[in-house]
Structure 1
Amino acid sequence: MAEKKCCNSLETASEKQQIAIIGSGAAAFACAIKAAEAGAEVTIIEAGVVGGCCVNVGCIPSKIMIKAAQLAQQQRKNAYPAIKDNPPVIDRALLSLQLQNRVDELRDAKYENIVRSNDNIRLIKGFARFSSINSLKIKKQDGSFDSLYADRFLIATGSSPYIPPISGLADLPYWTSTEALFATRLPERLLVIGSSVVALELAQAYQRLGTQVTLIARHTLLYREDPELGAGLRIALTDEGMSVFENQKIHSAEYKDNLFTVSINNQSLQAEKLLIATGRHANTQSLHLSQVGIETNNSGEIMVNGKMETSQTHIYAAGDCASMPQFVYVAAAAGTRAATNMTGGDVSLDLNTMPAVIFTDPQVATVGLSENRAKDLGIKTESRTLALENVPRALVNFETTGFIKLVIKANTRVLIGAQILAHDGGEIVQTAVLAIHNRMTIEALAAQLFPYLTLVEGLKLCAQTFNKDVAQLSCCAG
């Protein structure tokens, strides 16, 4: 794609507001589109592939792989004796090609085409760093340098996989999530180090595609969430044949004779491939932030307020490089709000009802406060947990693994949290988001009409358990 012409001067002849964005992912493009709509001229500077993590090496390819793995598992084992199980035949190279093709299509349609079709947005390929509080120095791909002046800036440089300091690991040919997603061959055995989103999603996907997976967690699974979620998911994973080791001290890793060996507690584990999925860290090291007075935390994340302003109020940050949850929809919302504030508005981002979904099977979906988090905040709570065997849709699907848990503030009866472990749990949680956002009491939620034989009806049933025994109700929950 041809680049739009970039000026070599710090000054620009245009009287329009000049906005420079470092990075080209969800936060960057949400900001660029909104700012261009407001009449600004926007320059996006990108050192690598346009589109950021989500479309290229994150959400899009991982969900394709997860869906394929789910279909393989359903072919291998299903809940209906009338339908014969068969071992799936999997062409990993063809799956990788299909995945890459869809990534390329979406990157072109949702990112590159925006630049082509919007005269107020231009793209420069190169590495940018601050040379002053109002200008960037850009090293372009041909080795030349440009300087770019702007009135406002957005830093949206994303994140990279974090590699823990395990003895011997640094020089080994381990996988990160990128290599795991785009591999063209299935290993016979795979070791996965991690205990949260990426580790769990990819570990289960590989297990279902036919690899024997061993998951090594330094804590319990999902240790930052309600303990029931991690415990329930662990049972589901081990039931599918995965080996799970929790609360492990990892002593060392080595690679010899085409085998990885990881030493934990009192034993050693081996596999042909090793996936490191221990979180991500902000891409801020090369931006020269300290020289222009932009504050970061100990993890390198840029500190921002609710308006996405940094310690230099004309410089904003959004997405994984900023001090906010690492979700693409949070990044996009933050980018949009940053653009509004850059162009004369005054809006902020409220994350109190932010939903989160982990696309394992069953899925983990949460919003608001857990009991433990509420306790830390000094809030007295009540909660109820409804096993999915009490939800008619789960019963007719023969998919009763999991639960729905609701947390209320004891004195007001207002819903403040929901934790869900369920097949398609991500399709349930948004109703809880709206209930919390609108400060519904648990009785008001229980009184709503929910369509029968939907999983989301489980929210109503769980709400009813605060005041009655749902086992004594007829099938349609009243």
Structure 2
Amino acid sequence: MPTFSYDALIIGSGQAGNPLATALADAGRRVVLVEENHLGGSCVNYGCSPTKALLAAAERAHHIRTAAEYGIRAQEPEVDFPAIIARKEALVQHSRAGVRSNLTQEHPGITVLHGHAAFTGPHSVRVTLVEGDEREIEAPLIFINTGTRPAIPPLAGLEAVPYLTTTELLDLQELPEHLLILGGGYIGMEFGQMFRRFGSRVTIIESGKKLLEREDDDVCAAMQEVLAAEGVELVLGAEARRVSRNAAGQLTISAHTPAGERRLHGSHLLIATGRTPNSDKLDLSKAGIKTDEKGYIRVNSSLETNVRGIYALGDVHAGPQFTHLSYDDYRVVRDALLHGKRRSARQRPLPYTVFTDPQLGRIGLSEEQAQAQKIPYRVAKMPVRTIGRARETGRTTGFWKVLVDSQDRILGAAIFCAEGGELMTMFQLIMMGRLKYPQLQNMIIAHPTWAEGINNVFAKLQEPE
């Protein structure tokens, strides 16, 4: 088996590994990147890009279905589901081609290998190529960017039924008649609303007492109300105990709920109960790399593992799993290795958006977090319908909630509103600039925009109840 030496080895073509490969190559380093599946990682192939393409199609269908509210007569939309999937696939293929070109043509000094990598020592890896050949690779710097995969719960009968993860659901060619979704996190909610708007019946089964368990109760209640109003059935506090399939192909989940035992029937089952790290097939023990009890690779504030020169980037290490944080992992490592600038990966803001309609944009502390940390705060809450832009567009569902500290600065915001992610980013900028809320009340903001709410949201700033 031949041995090859490089300055840096990157395992996984994700949102941290790809830009790191180009940055190191541009700095004159010889880089090899190993990818077992498609280039681009989860975001390009089965995460952000494809799901948001499908959500855009679902939103168009909803616009047509509700056009009469705006004085436009329209027929019930005819959903061509294979065409929707084909559009999504074209976008994915375009992104994959862009990643491949970036790595193999635009930046000399990068070698891309398609195959499986496994450690043979602290700084050596065996790569089994898709063609079957093997080669040993040695490098003083190694970066693990292998991401996660869907976690499959120990549900009785699951191994005997044709369940789906989000990866398979994105490639369906038929619209489910009745989609059962096991899990009420942001994935379950986005797909639930999406397929309901496509015309499927949808039931979300969640073991907790509310959807989005990490959010404040008022945010969860508002989200649940929106989904229920569109016809999504929510079964909360439900412990799924068994799944089965009859001769006609119907799936049945037996669940214990606060109302007693229930048998929930559907044509398709989506498992959306979380993710598990792709660290178990890398032979980490041969390099001495430590993981936590769930298999996530342990890293320090610089994203370095317990083995010097080996780093873990993106979702494969513990912490929030978002593309933008994976990309920031790349920046943390790039700046430390190439620019001599050290920054802790533990001290950074966490903005995120749930892409339901309306969106939920979140930055900073929630009320529950502020209370748990015993941080004094006041809260401003404003219904979306008070914003002129909301009334004019008819998108009046939701509210803004902003937490303010004792120094009149923003602690956090939950923006459940049309364009909630974009509006949340404005609050993130406000927090970075350490502006005080009275300054925001007196800003001149173009009319009529969603952003005008920044002038008004603080009108009823109150102590928490």
Normalising TM by the smaller chain, what interval? over 0.9
Within the candidate set 149, 170, 173, 2:162 is matched to 173
Q: How far has the Cα of 1:170 moved from its partner?
A: 2.6
Name the counterpart of 1:15: none
1:128 counterpart (117, 120, 123):
117
Distance 2:319 2:59 in 1: 31
| Aligned position for 1:317 | 312
Deviation (angstroms), 1:85: 3.9
**Residues in 1 aligned to 2:36 and 2:115: alpha-carbon distance in whole angstroms:** 4
Establish whether residue 263 from structure 1 lines up as the match of residue 254 from structure 2. Answer: yes
TM score, norm. by length of structure 2: 0.94
Q: State the Cα distance separating 1:201 from its structure 2 match.
A: 0.6
Task: Output the CA distance in 1 between the equivalents of 2:228 and 2:347.
Answer: 34
| Contact 2:351/2:364 (<8 A) preserved | yes
Task: Provide the residue aligned with 2:29 in structure 1.
Answer: 40
Q: How does 1:54-453 map to 2 (within 5 A)?
A: 54-78=43-67, 80-219=69-208, 220-257=210-247, 258-265=249-256, 266-343=261-338, 345-348=340-343, 349=345, 352-409=348-405, 411-453=406-448
- The letter of the residue matching 2:428 is V
Structure 2 distance, partners of 1:112, 1:261, is 46
Check the 8 A contact 2:39/2:99 in 1, yes or no. Answer: no
Match of 2:460 in 1: 465
SS at match of 2:152: coil
Deviation at 1:120, TM superposition (A): 1.3
Q: TM-score, normalised by structure 1?
A: 0.92
Contact 1:262 1:269 (8 Å CA) reproduced: yes
SS at match of 1:238: helix
Q: Which amino acid aligns with 2:317?
A: A
In 2, the alpha carbon distance for the partners of 1:463 and 1:350 equals 30
TM superposition shift of 1:217 = 1.0
Amino acid at match of 1:149: E
Equivalence for 1:49: 38
Q: Distance in 2 between matches of 1:11 and 1:42?
A: 9
> 1:10 Cα deviation (Å)?
4.5
Q: Which amino acid aligns with 2:374?
A: G
Q: Cα deviations across residues 88-138 of structure 1 (Å, max 9, x unaligned)?
A: 011111111111111101110134443222211110111111111111111
Cα 1:87/1:466, change in 2 over 3 Å: same
Q: What is the DSSP-based 3-state SS (H/G/I as helix, E as strand, rest coil) of the residue aligned with 2:330?
A: helix
**SS of alignment partner, residue 320 of structure 1:** helix
Cα distance 1:141–1:129, how it changes in 2: closer, same or farther (>3 A)? same
CA contact (8 A) 1:130 1:292 kept: yes
Residue 308 of structure 1 contacts residue 334 of structure 1 at CA under 8 Å; is this kept in 2?
yes
Letter in 2 for 1:444: Q
Q: CA deviation at 1:344?
A: 5.7
| Structure 1 counterpart SS, 2:265 | strand
Instruction: Give the RMSD, CA atoms, in angstroms.
Output: 1.7
| Equivalent pairs, count | 455
Supply the AA of the counterpart residue of 2:58: A
**CA 1:91–1:446: 2 relative to 1, 3 Å:** same
Letter in 2 for 1:339: R
Provide the residue aligned with 1:8 in structure 2.
2
Deviates more, 1:304-313 or 1:268-277: 304-313
- Contact residue 104 and residue 110 of structure 2 kept, 8 A: yes
**Secondary structure of 2:158's partner?**
coil
Contact 2:402–2:410, Cα closer than 8 Å, also in 1? yes
Contact 2:160/2:244, CA 8 A, preserved across alignment: no
Shift of 1:351: 5.2
Q: Distance in 2 between matches of 1:234 and 1:224?
A: 14
**Greater CA deviation, 103-112 or 216-225?**
103-112
Q: Is the 8 A contact 2:179 2:201 kept in 1?
A: yes
Q: Is the 8 A contact 1:404 1:459 kept in 2?
A: no
1:78 and 1:230 mapped to 2: Cα distance?
28
CA distance in 1, matches of 2:30, 2:335: 14
| Alignment-mate amino acid for residue 9 of structure 1 | T
CA distance in 2, matches of 1:460, 1:169: 52
Aligned to 2:20, the other structure's residue is in SS state helix
**For residue 474 of structure 1, what is the aligned residue in structure 2?**
none
Identity of aligned residues (%): 31
Deviation string, structure 1 residues 127-158 (Cα, Å, up to 9, x no partner):
11111111111111222221111111110001
In structure 2, list runs of 5 or more residues that go unmatched: none
**Distance between the aligned counterparts of 1:121 and 1:214, measured in 2?**
47
